[in-house]
Amino acid sequence: MKIYTKLTQAILGLLFCIALQSGLVMAADTIEIESNNTIDTAQNIDNDFSVGANPDIQDATIWPWVSISADGDGTQDYFAFVVPAAGVTGVFDIDYGYFQGGSGSLDTELCLYALDGTLLAGNDDSGISLGAGGSVNGRDSGIEHVFAAPGTYVIGVGEYNALCNPGGIGGNTPDAGDTYELQISLSQHGLDSDGDGVMDSEDMNIYSDLNPTVVFEGCDSGVANTQFANGCTIADLVNACADDAVDHGRFSSCVAAVTNDLKNNGELSASGKGMIQSCASQSDIGK
């Protein structure tokens, strides 16, 4: 499939704005969701990764990360995530866990697993500098690990004196009232939010319209909704025109410009162009 590159300058600007609006993920905390008490029931955090400044997370403006706020409930806590390639580095850092004599203080242990329960790494106490700020005591656990293969992995949180056993954490658990933050950062995270086969890091629109045909306002043009190598679809281009429509005339002109460029680039037949333009002219968009 050819990469679609011949959009008019105005339409390319529209598409870029839409891609930013739909694809930008703002950095924010995530909350632990029970029950995540075993490797098999680990809370999946793949959709919670973001990039943005955070003084408690290593390379926060470069590496995708998740910050999880959690409370103990007498069970172990597990969190699952995807590593896209061999050689990816992961940093797993407990913050605000242990503070001498304080309510909610927790002396943690971290255990890193492959999805089949193979133990990859464990840590009880770590230096407070691992993963940047947030720790005031070395009893906050931390692991830095280079993954040998892509796949789904699980990080587990227990309380000292827990045991990082193959298959899961044994022994002591975080108690009701215990609190901590788990910071997870990966040098690379392969997320495909819309399931179109194009990773978010390469996708111009991470929430593409993947309908089989180009449809808008109930009008099905019958034209195949081609997906391009950059992750965008024909419907995304038409939707960009609709989202920025000042009036119906400008919307129709925008659709005409997009479909003419698609036809000229060999991505759309003359009849397909006509069917999409017909739907545009019948719609109430911009009226």
The CATH class of the 32-186 domain is: mainly beta
Over residues 227-276, the pLDDT tens digits come to 988 889 999 998 888 877 778 888 889 999 999 999 998 999 999 999 99
Query: Does the structure show a pLDDT above 80 at 184?
Result: yes
In the numeric block, the tokens 């037949």 are attached to 269
Q: What is the mean pLDDT of residues 14-42?
A: 68
Tally DSSP H helices, then E strands, for the chain. Answer: 4, 14
For the chain, give every domain's residue range: 9-22+195-282, 32-186
Both tokens of 166, joined, read 């193959």
Contacting residues for 16 by C-beta, under 8 A, at least 6 apart: 204
pTM: 0.63
Over residues 108-132, the pLDDT tens digits come to 999 999 999 999 999 998 877 777 7
Return the number of other C-beta atoms located less than 10 Å from residue 145's C-beta.
Answer: 17
225 contacts 235 by C-beta, under 8 angstroms: yes
